[in-house]
């Protein structure tokens, strides 16, 4: 049985996933981290949790948070980020500019890539930096 929380994907498999595929997975990873962070920081009601989560996972918020971690990225992470930023999404949400959406997609691709590589320590490090006030 496959353990989907602790994947053992080969570099060949990971390399075969499209940038938008990495972003799709990374979106879920980021949202799970945000939801966990919110629960651990006292957001109690479902309505409050949802509203707070939307604030953090929206493209403009992700784009702003990216600026906190860009200087910390390794060259390999920067390459994944760049490829994610250059992916061609089919549409852009009304509440985000093209630049914000590209930065958010890049962040999500990076988080997807780190997750597939089993780099949970690095995910936690970057996420922690992003959530600092």
Whether 27 is a known active-site residue: answer yes
pLDDT digits 0-9 by tens, 61-114: 999 999 999 999 999 999 999 999 998 766 777 788 888 999 999 999 999 999
- Rounding to the nearest 10 degrees, give the CA dihedral for residues 69, 71, 72, 78: 90
Residue indicated by tokens 């980020």: 81
Query: What percent of the chain is modeled with pLDDT above 90?
Result: 66
Measured distance CA(43)–CA(29) in Å, rounded:
19
- Model confidence, pTM: 0.91
Catalytically annotated residue among 3, 27, 79, 121: 27
Sign of CA dihedral 31, 4, 118, 124: positive
- Cβ distance 49 to 43 under 8 Å? yes
DSSP element (H, E) containing 124: helix 120-131
Task: Report, as an integer, the average pLDDT of 31-47.
Answer: 85
């Amino acid at each position: 049985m496959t353990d989907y929380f602790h994947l053992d994907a080969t570099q060949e498999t990971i390399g075969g996933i499209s940038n938008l595929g990495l972003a799709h997975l990374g979106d879920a990873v980021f949202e799970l981290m945000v939801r966990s962070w919110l629960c651990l920081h006292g957001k109690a009601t479902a309505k409050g949790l949802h509203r707070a989560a939307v604030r953090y996972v929206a493209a403009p918020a992700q784009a702003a948070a990216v600026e906190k971690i860009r200087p910390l990225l390794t060259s390999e992470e920067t390459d994944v980020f760049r490829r994610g930023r250059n992916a061609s999404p089919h549409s852009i949400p009304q509440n985000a500019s093209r630049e914000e959406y590209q930065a958010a997609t890049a962040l999500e691709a990076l988080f997807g890539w780190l997750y597939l590589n089993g780099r949970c320590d690095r995910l936690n490090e970057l996420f922690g930096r992003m959530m600092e006030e």
